[in-house]
């Protein structure tokens, strides 16, 4: 305390703003230390469960109801449907599996198509893993961490992970992941059982519930390039679909994302 007082008095002799700046930095350090204080594995896990129950659980739950209904209509058993939800764990890949299975394609073609549909998780995993740097347990189970990753889980963790102490990040991640996985399994089961009751338009609408949530998530971020990408994609996507329905999604993603990157760069210079 004496050293701090001397420092403030000494700073005041040179500028009137220095004490305010010092106090501001001290407040920041205090808040940072409070935020980064370890919660303990149990509390961190419970916080992950609570965050998962706010929105991600219900998005996954509703979407998987649509998938479960689609799976039964395609002649897939409940065991395979649940295996796809928990194993593929990505609606584009799961929908591709159902469509190719219904078309009678061989297993290897279904595996390749489902894997390619979920390639978007690769850059997300690359961004996620540095948050667990130095955690021996996370490194040991890194393939499991990548397997249970989804856009819902990634969004929650990227928003919260940096505010948690390093030892709390893994239990928090598993708390969110397990919550979403349970929601997916329950939703798939309900959709499979209610397949004959749900109208087709309801089933399709539920499948597209998750992509609509993705648009909401990326539109609510503060980064200008993400907002530009969403707007450009919303405008160009339907137009490109009229030209090439099969390639409209990847073309729109690459075109809108690239244009957003350079537009944001140009706007930053001007």
pLDDT attached to residue 26: 38
Largest Cα–Cα separation, the chain: 82
Q: Exposure pattern of 157-189 as b/e (b: 16+ CB <10 Å)?
A: beebbeebeeebbbbbbbbbbbbbbbbbbbbbb
What is the spatial distance between Cα 7 and Cα 4, in angstroms, rounded to a whole number? 5
pTM beyond 0.75, yes or no: no
The C-alpha atoms of residue 241 and residue 221 are separated, in whole angstroms, by 26
Instruction: Give the pLDDT of the chain (270 residues) as one tens digit per residue.
Output: 433 333 333 333 334 444 443 334 434 443 444 445 677 889 999 999 999 998 889 989 988 998 998 898 888 899 999 999 999 998 888 988 888 888 888 888 888 888 888 888 888 899 899 999 888 999 899 899 999 998 889 888 988 888 899 899 999 999 999 999 999 999 999 999 988 787 777 777 777 776 777 676 666 566 788 788 888 998 999 999 999 888 888 899 899 989 999 998 888 776
All residues at 6 or more sequence positions from 101 whose CB lies less than 8 Å from its CB, including other chains: 74, 75, 76, 110
Return the domain boundaries, the chain: 2-35, 41-199, 221-270
User: How far apart (Å, rounded) are the C-alpha atoms in residues 229 and 41?
Assistant: 38
């Amino acid at each position: 305390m004496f050293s701090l007082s001397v420092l403030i008095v000494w700073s005041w002799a040179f500028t009137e703003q220095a004490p305010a700046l010092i106090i501001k930095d001290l407040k920041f350090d205090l808040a940072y230390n409070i935020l980064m204080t370890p919660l303990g594995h149990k509390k961190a896990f419970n916080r992950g469960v609570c965050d998962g129950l706010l929105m991600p659980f219900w998005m996954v739950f509703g979407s998987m109801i649509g998938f479960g209904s689609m799976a039964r209509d395609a002649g897939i058993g409940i065991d395979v449907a649940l295996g796809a939800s928990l194993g593929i764990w990505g609606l584009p890949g799961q929908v591709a599996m159902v469509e190719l299975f219904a078309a009678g394609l061989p297993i290897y073609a279904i595996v390749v198509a489902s894997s390619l549909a979920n390639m978007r998780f690769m850059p997300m995993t690359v961004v996620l893993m540095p948050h667990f740097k130095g955690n021996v347990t996370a490194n040991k189970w890194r393939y499991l961490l990548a397997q249970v990753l989804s856009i819902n889980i990634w969004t929650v963790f990227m928003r919260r992970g940096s505010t948690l102490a390093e030892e709390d990040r893994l239990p928090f991640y598993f708390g969110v992941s397990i919550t979403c996985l349970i929601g997916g399994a329950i939703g798939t089961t309900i959709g499979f059982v209610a397949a004959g009751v749900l109208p087709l338009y309801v089933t399709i609408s539920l499948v597209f519930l998750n992509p609509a949530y993705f648009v909401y998530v990326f539109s609510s971020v503060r980064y200008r390039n993400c907002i530009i990408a969403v707007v450009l994609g919303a405008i160009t996507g339907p137009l490109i679909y009229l030209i090439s329905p099969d390639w409209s999604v990847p073309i729109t993603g690459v075109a809108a994302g690239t244009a957003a990157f350079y537009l944001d760069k140009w706007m930053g210079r001007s």
